[in-house]
Amino acid sequence: MKIKTPLLNLCSTFIFVLLLHSSMAQPGTLGVFTNNADVGATKTVGKTTYDSNKQSYTISGSGENIWSQKDEFQYAYRKMTGDFILRANVAFVGEGVDPHRKIGWMVRHSLEVNSPCVSAAVHGDGLVSLQFRENPQSDMDQKAFAMTHADVIQLERRGDTFIMSAAKMGERFFEEQVSGIELGNEVYIGLSVCAHNPDVVETATFKNVRVIVPPKPDYVPYRDYIGSHIELMDVATGDRKIVFSADNSWQAPNWMVDDNVFTVNSDGLLYDFDLRTGKPTKLETGAAVRNNNDHVLSFDGKQMGISSTPPEDGHSIIFTMPRKGGNPKRLTPNGPSYLHGWSPNAKELVYTAVRDNAWNIFKIPASGGQEVQLTKTPGLDDGPEYTPDGKYIYFNSNRTGIGQIWRMKPDGSNPEQVTFDELNDWFPHISPDGKWIVFISFPRTVDSGQHPFYKHCYIRLMPITGGEPKIIGYIYGGQGSMNVPNWSPDGKRIAFVSNSAFLNY
């Protein structure tokens, strides 16, 4: 660490203790944070409250400013080491007094008023800026964004580089970054509110708060896994709730028929997760104990198709079995085959398979028989899913050089491209009423021919009739996040998996 912090004498230490207000001792949980405090000599003690049901924060703070060599603000924080990603939806409460009031993420070397720090800040007048102080003797500096009035902000640390991403909800991130900011391995991270007026208290709300620790840079996909959060999202509002966390890999919630239960995969086994108990229960799959994340319930909820790797095959094969569990019946004679959808009448299954070294889409009768190839293009065709009326199969394809959503008739005829922008799109899922599609989107830099783990992703929503997709979720995940149908039966929520090596929620 190269921070040049002068030694504190007894007097300055005493002053610092006074400046750190006693709001630290609030009773009750602070969610992902361990404490809260007023940094600096604020006239009014700030407050942080956490709503455990909504998993959201309300923070009130006073303070003259976060600038120059003296900061004053309310801070909900914890200590962290290494690299991390901080993300939240942020909003001021009320019109406020000073246009320079600030809310956002703050990373600090210490709780001293002049600590080296990096801040992802949104101001009352709409200014969005990446602010930073390199050492205690330096004034705060900033990089202002071209966009304004962001309500989704993200701050990522990669060594001594800090990357701020900001967006208006529903739109893509804009980005600024600064390097050479050495705060030490262990830092304070947290949410901040500053009134920019010592006589005023301002309040802000923070929801969808996530503290994410990515895998190590040299991790090996399909061998080195990090932890998982199973999350629910209200599609209309974008509000999210973590309902289950584990330090191993959980993937692909499939949610149909029963509003309280969906099926998930972990370590080769399938589980029913019950929202009423908050617990998973192992589903009996007989000899199929090497199941992957391509399992799908039939529309009527009576049958389940699974993708599993028998030892004698060494690659994924599709099986069917009763919804409540039982001995699976082999369906596809060849592999690798990865299930993605049932026809609404439960007579056919549609899947992605590797044949002749190419990824294409096939269907097969549920009673068994000959598979029928529906696509034949170079590259990757994947994620096929029927619409509830059975008129179309939606899928993703990189036949144009980038992953996009397509659709075709159930016999494979009349393929039509559905999305047309610069993002790589995967795994379209159609709402129960057949009016909407959700899918996961990766940056252009992600290889469209792969199934990537642990990336920055968007969850996007668009009308099935077409139009501009809208971002409804900003997540860290990828493979396993939403590989199979994930709408709730009433079409109001979706289930998905996000990832982090840090799970203290």
Q: Nearest CA to 107 among 151, 162, 70, 49?
A: 162
Final residue belonging to a domain, choices 212, 238, 266: 212
Q: Nearest CA to 495 among 505, 504, 484?
A: 484
Distance between CA atoms of residues 382 and 466, nearest Å: 20
Domain assignment present for residue 260? The answer is: yes
Distance from the first to the final alpha carbon of the chain: 30
Domain assignment present for residue 1? The answer is: no
Residue 455 token pair:
């990336």
Strands 102-108 and 416-417, how do they pair? unpaired
> Tell me, what's the pLDDT at 273?
96
> Tell me, what's the pLDDT at 332?
97
Domain assignment present for residue 5? The answer is: no
Final residue belonging to a domain, choices 178, 212, 246: 212
* Domain shared by 245 and 152, yes or no: no
* Domain shared by 237 and 370, yes or no: yes
Final residue belonging to a domain, choices 183, 212, 241: 212
For residues 380 and 361, the answer to whether their CB atoms sit within 8 Å is no
Domain assignment present for residue 65? The answer is: yes
Domain assignment present for residue 220? The answer is: no
* Domain shared by 162 and 272, yes or no: no
Residue 401 token pair:
């050089």
Quickly tell me which residue has 């620790």 as its tokens: 213
Q: How many domains would you assign to the chain?
A: 2
* Domain shared by 434 and 287, yes or no: yes
> Tell me, what's the pLDDT at 438?
98
Bridge partners for 143 per DSSP:
130
* Domain shared by 162 and 136, yes or no: yes
Residue 311: partners with Cβ closer than 8 Å, 6 or more residues away: 290
* Domain shared by 18 and 137, yes or no: yes
Residue 469 backbone class (left: φ over 0; alpha: ψ -120 to 50; beta: rest): beta
Q: In sequence order, what E strands does 40-115 have?
A: 47-51, 56-61, 66-67, 70-71, 73-81, 84-93, 102-108
Distance between CA atoms of residues 264 and 281, nearest Å: 10
* Domain shared by 200 and 52, yes or no: yes
* Domain shared by 290 and 423, yes or no: yes
* Domain CATH for 257: 2.120.10.30
* Domain CATH for 165: 2.60.120.200
* Domain shared by 436 and 315, yes or no: yes
Per-residue pLDDT of the chain (505 residues; tens, 9 = 90+): 333 333 333 334 333 433 444 444 344 589 999 999 999 999 999 999 999 999 999 999 999 999 999 999 999 999 999 999 999 999 999 999 999 999 999 999 999 999 999 999 999 999 999 999 999 999 999 999 999 999 999 999 999 999 999 999 999 999 999 999 999 999 999 999 999 999 999 999 999 999 999 999 999 999 999 999 999 999 999 999 999 999 999 999 999 788 899 999 999 999 999 999 999 999 999 999 999 999 999 999 999 999 999 999 999 999 999 999 999 999 999 999 999 999 999 999 999 999 999 999 999 999 999 999 999 998 999 999 999 999 999 999 999 999 999 999 999 999 999 999 999 999 999 999 999 999 999 999 999 998 899 999 999 999 999 999 999 999 999 999 999 999 999 999 999 999 999 777 5
Residue 180 domain boundaries: 10-212
> Tell me, what's the pLDDT at 27?
42
Domain assignment present for residue 222? The answer is: no
* Domain shared by 367 and 466, yes or no: yes
Domain assignment present for residue 492? The answer is: yes
> Tell me, what's the pLDDT at 504?
72
* Domain shared by 181 and 54, yes or no: yes
Domain assignment present for residue 218? The answer is: no
* Domain shared by 207 and 236, yes or no: no
Q: Nearest CA to 503 among 229, 276, 285?
A: 229
